[in-house]
Structure 1
Amino acid sequence: MDVSPRYREAWEGYWTATSDTPGEAIWDADPSVTAALDSERLLPYADTALPIVDLGCGNGTQTRYLATRFARAVGVDLSLAAIGHARRADPGGIAEFSQLDLVDAEAVARLRERIGDAHVYLRAVIHQSEPEARSAVAAAVAALVGRRGRAFVTEPTPASKDVLRQVAQAPDGPPEKLRRVLEHGLRPAEATEEEVRRLLGETGLTLLDEGAGVLVQTAYLPDGARVELPARWFVLGRT
C-alpha cells in the first residue's frame, strides 16, 4: 500500500514552496515548546540508549532536538523536499534523515531491521493522513517500537478546527502560513480523538500514559496571541 499521488504531490509541493527559514511552516515551533516538553513526558518510560525515530519530521527541527536526548535520532518524511530542508539545516549531522512512506509496510520493516527497537515520536501526523492510510501509520509506529521501544504520539483534537476557523476568519483573511497549507490541499484536524485512540489501540501497544496538551504553532491570532491547537498525547509500549 502507498499513499495516493495527490497526497504525495500535496506534501512535495508544500515543502518545495517553503524556504529554509526556521518557523516558516506553521507547525515549525521551537523545540522548547514542542519536543522538549514531549520528551519529558516520554523519558520516564524510555531507555535513552535506544534510537528515536521522528515520523513526519518535516524540516527536522524537532529531530535535531531529540538527538540531544537520545543516543541516535532518525527523521523520516514522505517528502523528499522536506528531507532536503532537514539535511541543509543539519550540516553537522546531529541527526539522520531519509525519505519514507509510512504506509509502505515493507519500507518500514527495512528501517526497523536497520536500527532495531526504537522509540517513536509522532507529532500531528495521523490527523492529516488520508483516512484509508491512518491505520497503516499507526501500524508503522508499532512496527518500529518492537519490544523495547516506546512511542510518543500527539494529535490535535476536533476543537482545533474551531481555533483554525478563528484564525482563517481574521479581518485580513488567513495568515500566510495557514493559507499556504490550505492552498496545497492539506487538511488539518481531520481525525477525531476517538479515531486516534482506536487506531492506537489496534496496534497491540499498551497505553502507558496520556494527557491533554497543545500543539504550538508559529502563527498568531489577531490579538497577538500565539495559535495553540488543543491536543491529546499518548505514551505507548509493549508490556
Structure 2
Amino acid sequence: MSVTNRYRDAWEGFWRDAPEEPGSVIWDAEPALTAERHLALFRPHLADDRLPLVDLGCGNGTQTRFLADRFPHVLGVDLSAAAVDLARRGDGARRAGFAQLDATDPAAVRELHERLGDANVYVRGVIHQSEPADRGPVAEAVAVLLGGRGRGFVVELAEAAKGVLARLAQNPAGPPPKLRPVLSHGLAPAEVADEAFTDILRAAGLGVLASGDMPLLTTEFTPDGARIELPAHWVVVGADGRRPGLS
C-alpha cells in the first residue's frame, strides 16, 4: 500500500512552489513556538533519549534542525522529494539527516526501522492532513519505528480547527496569503474527528502515555495583528505490547 498519486502530487506541488524564506509556510512557526514547547511535554516520557529521533513529515526541516541540536541522531523524513530537497538546502551545518519516505509503505518503514533500530518519533500535523485510508497506516508506521523502546509525540489539529480555517478561507477579502497555497494545492487540514484521533493510534498498537491540548501556532496573522492559532491535541505514545499491523 502507498499513498495515492493525487495526494503525492499535491504535496510535491506545494513544496515545489513554497518559498525558502523562514516562516513563509503557514505552519512553519519558529521552533520556540512549536518543537521547543512540544519537547518540554515529550522529554519527561522518553525511555531513552539516546535513541535516534525521526521527525516524520519534516517538511522544510525547521523543527528537525532544532531537534538535531538536542538529540544525538535526528532524521527528518517526508513524502515529498521537494520538501526533502528544501530541508537539505536549509541545513547548511548538516545538523540532521533527511530522506524521502512514504509512511504508508510498510516495506520502506520496516527497512528504516531495521537501519535505525528503535527510535523516538516526532509527528506534527501529519495524520489530520492524510487521506482517510492513509491515517491508520501512518499511525502503524509510528508504531513500527518506535519498536519496544521508543516514544512518540503526536500533535494534530483538533476538529474545531476546521471551522477556524473555513472562516479564514471565506473572508470577503479572500483567504490569508499563507493559507492560499494550502487550498490551491488541494490539501485538506483538520479532517480527523476528535474521537477518532486516539482510536487511530490505539488500533495501530500504540498506548497513550500522556495527552493534552495545545494550539498550533501559525506564521499568519489576522488584519489586527493577532497570530492565528489553531486548536490542537497532543499525545505521547509507546508500544502497548501488541505488534502493529503493518503487512
Q: TM-score per shorter chain, which class?
A: over 0.9
> How does 1:1-239 map onto structure 2 within 5 Å?
1-46=1-46, 47-238=48-239
One-letter amino acid of the structure 2 residue matched with residue 91 of structure 1:
G
Q: 2:154 and 2:112 mapped to 1: Cα distance?
A: 19
**Secondary structure of 1:208's partner?**
strand
Identity of aligned residues (%): 54
The 8 Å contact of residues 76 and 98 in structure 1, kept in 2 or not, is answered as yes
Q: 1:139 and 1:238 mapped to 2: Cα distance?
A: 11
One-letter amino acid of the structure 2 residue matched with residue 130 of structure 1:
E
**Secondary structure of 1:62's partner?**
helix
**Secondary structure of 2:107's partner?**
helix
Aligned to 2:244: none
Count of aligned pairs between the two proteins: 239
Q: 1:68 and 1:51 mapped to 2: Cα distance?
A: 13
The 8 Å contact of residues 170 and 222 in structure 1, kept in 2 or not, is answered as no
**Secondary structure of 2:208's partner?**
strand
Q: Deviation per CA, 1:5-62, whole angstroms, max 9, x where unpaired?
A: 1000000000011121111111000000100010111100112211110011000000
**Secondary structure of 1:177's partner?**
coil
Q: Deviation per CA, 1:182-234, whole angstroms, max 9, x where unpaired?
A: 00000010111111110101122221100011111111122221111101100
Q: 1:168 and 1:3 mapped to 2: Cα distance?
A: 27
**Secondary structure of 1:15's partner?**
helix
The 8 Å contact of residues 48 and 69 in structure 1, kept in 2 or not, is answered as no
One-letter amino acid of the structure 1 residue matched with residue 69 of structure 2:
T
CA shift at 1:124, angstroms? Answer: 0.6
Q: 1:28 and 1:11 mapped to 2: Cα distance?
A: 15
**Secondary structure of 1:40's partner?**
helix
One-letter amino acid of the structure 2 residue matched with residue 180 of structure 1:
P
Q: 1:92 and 1:115 mapped to 2: Cα distance?
A: 22
Q: 1:163 and 1:71 mapped to 2: Cα distance?
A: 38
TM-score, normalisation: structure 2: 0.94
Aligned to 2:243: none
Q: 2:67 and 2:121 mapped to 1: Cα distance?
A: 11
Q: 2:150 and 2:7 mapped to 1: Cα distance?
A: 29
**Secondary structure of 2:229's partner?**
strand
Q: 2:28 and 2:155 mapped to 1: Cα distance?
A: 15
The 8 Å contact of residues 167 and 221 in structure 1, kept in 2 or not, is answered as no
CA shift at 1:171, angstroms? Answer: 3.8
